[in-house]
Amino acid sequence: AMGVIAMSLDSPEMIEEVVSLQLPTVFIDSVTDGVHADAVHSTNREGMKEATRYLLENTSGPVAFVGSLTRYPPNPHTERYEGFVEAYNEFGCEVPDEYVLFTGIHVNGGRDIARRILNLSPLPAGIVCSDDRVAMGILDVLRDAGVSVPDQTSVIAFGGTIITLMVIPTISTVSPNRLLMGEEAVHLLEKRLRQPGRRPRTVRVPTRLILRGSSVPAHRRRPTALPIPAQSPTYPLAGQ
């Protein structure tokens, strides 16, 4: 018996190409809206919500969001945007429209959007990015512009990839548990091969916020305009 595990497919065309193989398939963190197949997703919404909340609690604000230009059909990047909005709403604040930006999910996309960020007034005290590559491009431009990270602007990305360790400062990131996601995908595929007619299932695997050099330490600065929750969560530092 044969099957397919497909990861990070972000366009309907790519999904359709895999589906056309007519093989048992499990999609990992892909665009699966309307697709009759098993899927494994990281907790995209919750992970971005945690990252945004961290910056709202530990900077003076505002916090900007940089997401993907691909917003339909629903995908992991749209879920991350929803988490950003939820974090703002929990603080009793409206999302500032001018601080919500979208770009291509690659390093050059980050560089392009960073030039727009530099024109915002005030400069955001925090930036959450829907992808590590975008954050890498943003850091390049901020560094060239003389903006100190994290002293002037903190940056938290999403992905937990190795490139977050290849720059100075190292990038704080929301890290999916890819090992567990792979294990869950294999289990789903095994079940599908044994029971071809069963209903599709979606599994959500928790993320982890890893704090590194691109974000201010917890409680270094407290917001002056944003309400503070009665209890603040603790976050793991890199290496813990």
Residue indicated by tokens 């499990």: 26
Work out the angle at residue 130's Cα, subtended by the Cα atoms of residues 33 and 189, and round it to the nearest 5 degrees. 40
Label the pairing between strands 172-176 and 100-103.
unpaired
Q: Is the CB of residue 131 less than 8 Å from the CB of residue 158? A: yes
For residues 109 and 112, what is the distance between their CA atoms, to the nearest angstrom? 5
In this prediction, residue 36 carries a pLDDT of 86
For residues 231 and 216, what is the distance between their CA atoms, to the nearest angstrom? 19
For residues 72 and 214, what is the distance between their CA atoms, to the nearest angstrom? 30
* Residue 97 CB partners (closer than 8 Å, separation 6+): none
Burial 101-123 (b: 16+ CB within 10 A, else e): bbbbbebebbbbbbeebbeeeeb
Tokens describing residue 4: 């397919």
Tokens describing residue 186: 């294999």
- Reported as half-sphere exposure (CB side, CA atoms, 13 A), residue 55 has a value of 33
Q: Supply the pTM of this predicted model.
A: 0.86
Instruction: Give the helix ranges, DSSP H, for 31-124.
Output: 44-58, 76-90, 107-117
Residue indicated by tokens 């919404």: 45
CA-nearest of 92, 83, 76 to 52 is 83
H-helix or E-strand containing 106?
none
pLDDT in tens, the chain (240 residues): 689 999 888 777 888 899 899 999 999 988 877 788 999 999 999 999 999 999 999 999 899 999 998 776 678 899 999 999 999 999 988 899 999 999 999 999 999 999 999 999 999 999 999 999 999 999 999 999 999 999 999 999 999 999 999 999 999 999 999 999 999 999 999 999 999 989 999 999 999 999 999 999 987 544 444 443 333 333 344 443
Q: Is the CB of residue 175 less than 8 Å from the CB of residue 42? A: no
DSSP reduced 3-state for 192? helix
In this prediction, residue 230 carries a pLDDT of 34
Q: Is the CB of residue 62 less than 8 Å from the CB of residue 120? A: no
